[in-house]
Homo-oligomer: A and B are copies of this chain.
Amino acid sequence: MSDNRFGKLFTVTTFGESHGPAIGCVIDGCPPGLAIDASEFAADLARRATGKSRHTSQRREEDAVEILSGVYQGLTTGTPIALLIRNTDARSKDYDAIAAQFRPGHADYTYHHKYGIRDPRGGGRSSARETTMRVAAGVIAKKWLAGKYGIAVHACVNQVGTLRAEMPAVIDWSVVEANPFFWPDAAQVPELEALLDATRKSGDSLGARVLTVATGVPVGWGQPIYGKLDAELGAAMLSINAVKGVEFGAGFAAVEQPGSRHRDLIGADGFHSNHAGGILGGISSGQDITCQVAFKPTSSLRLPGESLDADGKAVEVVTTGRHDPCVGLRAPPICEAMMALTLMDLALRHRAQCGDVPAQTPRVPAGRN
């Protein structure tokens, strides 16, 4: 019951504080024989990294991953894979002023009362810095899922504040990757930039919505009753910093759909719609898995906020560290990683009980996604 571990069979245990010596993870349960090289982590880590545009935190992390174990002559051996990243650009002095204060909207208050002690430097353990290791571990999961099943996992930002993306009928992921906001409609990017600039200048921050899609997932993954695909994936997403909600397929909109519209009919050409988000009874249906996540606006603001210090005295908190005006803009690689880690874990759990070969291969294609 290691609470810093994700997954049950493909497990990722992360460690490290934002401004400590290092962050890292131990991946246990990886199938042997998978080709992994330390250079493969760079691309996704760069997608997640801060400092890549003026719209994200100006902390510059090298994020060079060292593989400490579990890989021999370029192949995984089935033993634990430990990954390490040294923290290099940690300016802890920025946090001296607030070491004994509770920044509003932050975990300072709860860590203090839970543990009686906390590392205040950069948020310590509660910093989003931890998600770096999820992305690194996700690289391995993505590679295995792609190689063995042809699964692809993508994510985009489809809302920032009140600005909603014009969603194309089919998302062009190259468009998403071509702008620093993971935004699916190139035409809206200038508008989004203007919004972010205005927000940054005002000292305020914005929330965001992220859509994550997995294609190619075979029918049958997910472990009812309490290991349902949506339950596990929901927990995965909700474990990401700043997430306040998660939904699958039609999600909250399903409340307003009549049943005759919501249920996805099936024809000889497969499903006719995908309001279920590719999940029925907690098990993948073969359609695309679609999941949306709500990110709250960053609580670290230059605008002063009323709060308390550890002695219970009223203070006014101003956050002076380097922070993102919209944390959701860096979230797509993290959401992809959590989707990939969840799918890989459930793939192994399915295989344990039901074997490598699917019990029944569907006689029809999965249909519309």
- By a CB distance below 8 angstroms, the chain B residues around A111 are 281, 283
Render A78-113 as a binary contact track against B, CB cut-off 8 A, 1 for contact: 111110100000000000000000101111011111
B17 touches A69 (CB 8 A): yes
**Interface of chain A residues 1 through 47 with chain B (CB within 8 A):** 1-6, 8-9, 11, 13-17, 20-24, 26, 28-33
The verdict on A147 contacting chain B, using a C-beta distance below 8 Å, is no
* A333 contacts the other chain (CB 8 A): no
B-side contacts of A184, CB under 8 Å = none
- A68: chain B residues at CB < 8 Å are 15-16, 20-22, 24, 84
B296–A254 touching, CB < 8 Å: yes
Inter-chain CA distance A162–B75, complex, in Å, is 44
Q: Which of A125-165 contact B (CB under 8 A)?
A: 125-126, 130, 159-162
Chain A stretch 202-253: residues in CB contact (< 8 A) with chain B = 204-209, 219-228, 230-232, 234-239, 241, 243-252
Residue among A114, A205, A228 with the most chain B CB within 10 A? A114
Q: Which of B33, B75, B77, B328 contacts A124 (CB 8 A)?
A: B77
Residues of chain B within 8 A of A14, CB atoms compared: 80, 225
List, in ascending order, chain B residues with CB within 8 A of A308's CB: 266-268, 363-364
Q: Which of A57-65, A166-174, A175-183, A346-354 lines the interface with chain B?
A: A346-354
| Minimum C-beta distance from A26 to chain B (A) | 5
Asked if A9 contacts B13 (CB within 8 A), the reply is no
When distances are taken between beta carbons in the complex, the residues of chain B under 8 Å from A312 are 268, 362-364
Q: Are the CB atoms of A114 and B220 closer together than 8 Å?
A: yes
One of B227, B238, B310 near A230 (C-beta < 8 A): B238
Judge whether B2 and A32 touch: CB under 8 Å. no
Within 8 Å CB of A307, what residues of B? 265-266
> Could you say which of A48-56, A185-193, A297-305 contacts chain B?
A297-305
B109 & A280 in contact (Cβ 8 Å cutoff): yes
Point out the residues of chain B lying under 8 angstroms from A332, CB to CB: none
Question: CA separation between A13 and B81, bound complex, in Å?
Answer: 11
CA distance A357 to B33 in the complex (A): 14
- Does A359 count as interface, using CB distance less than 8 angstroms? yes
Q: Which residue of B lies closest to A111 (CB)?
A: B281
Contact, CB under 8 Å: A356 / B353 = no
Task: Chain B residues near A31: list those with CB within 8 A.
Answer: 353-355
Q: Select from chain B the residue with minimum beta-carbon distance to A148.
A: B355
Tell me whether A272 is interfacial, beta carbon within 8 Å.
yes
Q: Which of A23, A119, A209 has the most CB of B within 10 A?
A: A119
Q: Is the CB of B245 within 8 A of A238?
A: no
Q: What is the bound-complex CA distance between A90 and B273, given in angstroms?
A: 33
Q: Is the CB of A28 within 8 A of B13?
A: yes
**A3 adjacent to B227 (CB under 8 Å):** yes
Contact B3 A106 (CB under 8 A): no
Please name 9 pairs of A and B residues whose Cβ atoms are closer than 8 Å in the assembled complex, sorted by A. A4-B225, A69-B125, A72-B124, A77-B118, A110-B282, A110-B285, A113-B359, A116-B360, A310-B360
